[in-house]
Amino acid sequence: MYASRLIIITTLISSSSAVLSAATPEELERDVFRAKCIGCHAIACNRNGPKLGGVMGRNAGAVADFRGYTEALKKSGLVWTDKTLDDFLKDPNRLVPGTQMASAGRLESAKQRKMLIRFIKRADTSLDLCF
C-alpha cells in the first residue's frame, strides 16, 4: 500500500515538473537562433554577418553599414520574404552561388527554418551580442 502511494506521488511530481518546464514556442525559436545564428548575427547590430532586424522586405545585401557582403549576394536581386529566407536558409549556395553562408547557414529542418523566421520577424534582441 505504502509503495503504491509512493509511486503515485512520484509520478504526479514528475508529471507536474515536466509540464512546468515545457519550453514556450518563443523559447524554442530563441534556441534555434542561439544554435544556428548567434555566432555571426544579431538582430540589432552587425557582427560578422549583417544585423537581421528589419530584414523582411529588405533587398539582400542592403544594410548600408555592413561591409562584408559578397558580390554574389549584392547582385542577387533578392528581396527577403518568408519564402526567400526559407529557401536561403535551406541551401544558401543553391539560391545565391558564392555566398559566404554556403555551409554555416544551411538549415535542413523545415520546422527549424520556420521557427527561426518567426524569431527574426519578432525582432527579439534578447540574445544580441552588440559591442
Domain for residue 18, yes or no? Answer: no
C-alpha cell at 12: 504526479
Residues in Cβ contact with 91 at an 8 Å cutoff, skipping those fewer than 6 apart:
106
Q: Note whether 56 and 84 are within 8 A (CB).
A: no
pLDDT tens digits along 46-91 = 999 999 999 999 999 999 999 999 999 999 999 999 999 999 999 9
CATH number at residue 48: 1.10.760.10
Mean pLDDT, rounded, for 108-131:
94
Mean pLDDT, rounded, for 37-41:
93
Domain for residue 102, yes or no? Answer: yes
**Nearest partner of 71 among 104, 105, 97, 39, judged by Cα:** 97
Q: What is the pLDDT at residue 21? A: 62
Domain for residue 128, yes or no? Answer: no
Q: How many domains does the chain have?
A: 1
> pTM of the prediction?
0.80
Range of the structural domain that residue 50 is part of: 24-122
Q: Note whether 105 and 92 are within 8 A (CB).
A: yes
Q: What is the pLDDT at residue 33? A: 94
Mean pLDDT, rounded, for 110-118:
97
Helices and strands, number each (H, E), in the chain: 6, 0
Domain for residue 104, yes or no? Answer: yes
